[in-house]
Every structure is written in C-alpha cells, then in structure tokens.
Amino acid sequence: MISIKKLNYFYKAGKQDNRQALADLDLEIARNTLFTLTGPNGSGKSTLFRALSGLSIANQGEIKMDGLDIVQHQNKIRELMGVVFQHPALDKHLTLMENFSIHADLYGMKQSLFRQRLDEDLAWTGLKDRLGELVGTLSGGMARRVELVKALLHRPKILLMDEPTNGLDPGGRRDFLDMVDKLREEREMTILMTSHIFAEAERADRVGILHQGRLLAVGSPEELKNRLGREMVVIQTIDDKQAETLNSKLANRDGVKVWIRQRELRVEGIDSKTLDDLLANHREQFCEISIKRPTLEDLFIHITAKNGEVE
C-alpha cells in the first residue's frame, strides 16, 4: 500500500552545507497492516512523515501509495489519506462541530453524508454530547480523539499518525492506541505511525527502526527482539568507572558481548558460572542486576553500538 524507494532528504543547514535527514530509505508497507516507525528524536521520523503527507518533497527517490506517485497524483493521494499530525491541527477557538464541518467542506462532503459518518464515529469517542464545546476546553486525550475523528471522516484507506500519543499520560496512550487497533480491523486501513516510545511499537504488525536518517531494521516485533536471543543480563553499576572495570572483565569471556551506556551494561551470552562469579566477587561494583527478555529498545541499543559504546 505504501512504497518508498531510495528516498533522500536534505535540509539547508547553512549557507553552503546541507544536512541529510533521510538517506537511501527503502520501505514497503503491506495493505491493512499497522506499521510503526520508531527511533529517538531527531532520527528522521517527522521528516519522512512530512514527505509522505505531501507537506514537503524529497530531494531524491520515489513514494507511491496504492500504486499512485505522490508527486504526480497529489489530489488522489489526499483522498486516500487521513493524517494525525504531531502538533494539534484543530482550531481551539472553534467548537468540535465547527472543526468537523470545516474538514467535511474541504473534502466536498454532502451534509447528509457528513452527519451520517460523524454519528458513526462519535459512537466510540464519548464526544457525542460535547459537539458544542470549544476544542480548547478539552483534555489532551479528548482532543486526540477529535483529531482522529476528523482524520477519518472521509474514510481514508491510509492513516498517517506522527507521534499521536505525545502529551498523553500512560492510560491515555493505551486508550488511544486501543481505539486505533479496533478501527484498523473494522475498516481495513493501512496505518503508518511514528513513535519515539519503543513500547508502543511492540503493538504493531511490523516495525522499522530509524536512526540518523537510515532504516536499520524492519520486521515484526518478535522477529526483531529474537535477534538478541531469549534473555539478556542488564547491570547498573555504581559509577562510570565501575562500568568500565566490569566491561573489561566480561569482554574477555568467550561468547560474551557487552554494550555500555553510561553506567549501564547490557550483556549477551553470559553463562551461569560467569553470573555466579559476578555476584560472588564483584557485588560492590554494581547496584542492580536483572535478567530479562530483550525489548525493541534493547535492539536499538544493540544495532547502534560501535566499539562497545552506544551512540
């Protein structure tokens, strides 16, 4: 449903220098799937989102949606696509109904169709009795629901969401993503969502990890996590010096791999004998040790590590 080939994007960083925000990015997103693009702030997620939503044009490469080139078929692409931006795209000085009506007018929807679809969408939002209220009076979670309803009014086949849970508390994030999951199944939409929260990406069908403008890994959450094996040991040391000392001891063990991030060591391939030795002879060097299954955040740390240090 979404095809991206050899996409390059440069920002003007100075009078002569350009900064590359996306580098030779290739990505295929299948129809009726939830794809989450994750990575830290500044990795290029929002730049890609702007290119996909038509707000900016990449310097090189190709983007197609449902087989249509995004540059050559802009109007048709806009009919296919609903967008939830990272920053609110609602007029807080207008009521909910006024915001919805403006969006419907922009898409040329007849009043009867608009009211029918709005009634359908309001059934799952808890907003039906608040249409006359100003958007500015809503909580963050409710405002996000309004954004989602607005983006879905014209019944898009593709939904783009850029950091849609920004500003929501954990409960609000969970409720919002639960609604998105339900709607995707009911309406058979293709959804591309960006998030810097790795735990959110674990809900997706497929995940892409973006770092410094490059797509480093793509797969299902389980496929990606299984690259690190079933278990890993995480050690929190007393200070940076102790982290270096422990690293030097562990790095000489056969089959053991260590990644350091400040006072934290992430250790793969450790056996029970080495673990017993740590507890018996080096307990004063660390304040916490745990054994856990790898997460997508662990994978990100793993694949961005260089020479034992994490960028």
Tell me, yes or no, whether 30 and 141 share the same domain.
yes
Q: Residue 311 falls within a domain, yes or no?
A: no
pLDDT in tens, 249-291: 887 788 788 878 778 888 887 888 888 888 888 888 888 888 8
Tell me, yes or no, whether 160 and 60 share the same domain.
yes
Q: Residue 308 falls within a domain, yes or no?
A: no
| Position 193, amino acid | M
Is residue 103 over pLDDT 70?
A: yes
Does the pTM exceed 0.85?
A: no
Q: Distance (Å, rounded) from C-alpha 234 to C-alpha 224?
A: 19
% of the chain exceeding 90 in pLDDT = 45
Tell me, yes or no, whether 139 and 270 share the same domain.
no
**What CATH number does the domain containing 90 carry?**
3.40.50.300
Which of 170, 199, 219 is the last residue in one of the domains?
Answer: 219
Q: Residue 303 falls within a domain, yes or no?
A: no
Question: By CB neighbour count within 10 A (0-12 exposed, 13-18 middle, 19+ buried), where does 35 fall?
Answer: buried
Tell me, yes or no, whether 189 and 260 share the same domain.
no
Q: Residue 302 falls within a domain, yes or no?
A: no
Tell me, yes or no, whether 129 and 195 share the same domain.
yes
Q: Residue 300 falls within a domain, yes or no?
A: no
Tell me, yes or no, whether 149 and 284 share the same domain.
no
Which of these, 174, 172, 148, 150, lies nearest to 162 by C-alpha position?
A: 148
Q: Residue 299 falls within a domain, yes or no?
A: no
Considering only 128-137, 202-211, 259-268, which range has the smallest mean pLDDT?
A: 259-268
89: containing domain:
2-219
Tell me, yes or no, whether 122 and 187 share the same domain.
yes
State the total domains in the chain. 2
Tell me, yes or no, whether 151 and 252 share the same domain.
no
> HSE of 259 in the Cβ direction (CA atoms, 13 Å)?
20
Tell me, yes or no, whether 136 and 190 share the same domain.
yes
E strand spans, 59-175: 60-65, 68-69, 81-84, 158-162
Q: Any idea how long the chain is?
A: 311
- Predicted confidence at residue 17, as pLDDT, reads 66
- Predicted confidence at residue 16, as pLDDT, reads 60
Tell me, yes or no, whether 149 and 261 share the same domain.
no
- Predicted confidence at residue 276, as pLDDT, reads 87
Q: Distance (Å, rounded) from C-alpha 298 to C-alpha 117?
A: 42
Q: Summarize the confidence of residues 290-307 as an average pLDDT.
A: 77
| Position 138, amino acid | L
The rounded mean pLDDT for the chain is 88
Q: Distance (Å, rounded) from C-alpha 106 to C-alpha 290?
A: 54
Which of these, 274, 273, 272, 243, lies nearest to 259 by C-alpha position?
A: 243
Q: Which residue has the higher pLDDT, 16 or 143?
A: 143
**What CATH number does the domain containing 259 carry?**
3.30.70.1650
Is residue 309 over pLDDT 70?
A: no
- Predicted confidence at residue 305, as pLDDT, reads 62
Q: Summarize the confidence of residues 179-198 as an average pLDDT.
A: 90
Which of 179, 199, 219 is the last residue in one of the domains?
Answer: 219
Q: Summarize the confidence of residues 153-162 as an average pLDDT.
A: 94
Tell me, yes or no, whether 261 and 284 share the same domain.
yes
Q: Distance (Å, rounded) from C-alpha 96 to C-alpha 150?
A: 10
Q: List the beta bridge partners of residue 64.
A: 3, 69
Considering only 75-84, 97-106, 210-219, 294-303, which range has the smallest mean pLDDT?
A: 294-303
Tell me, yes or no, whether 210 and 245 share the same domain.
no
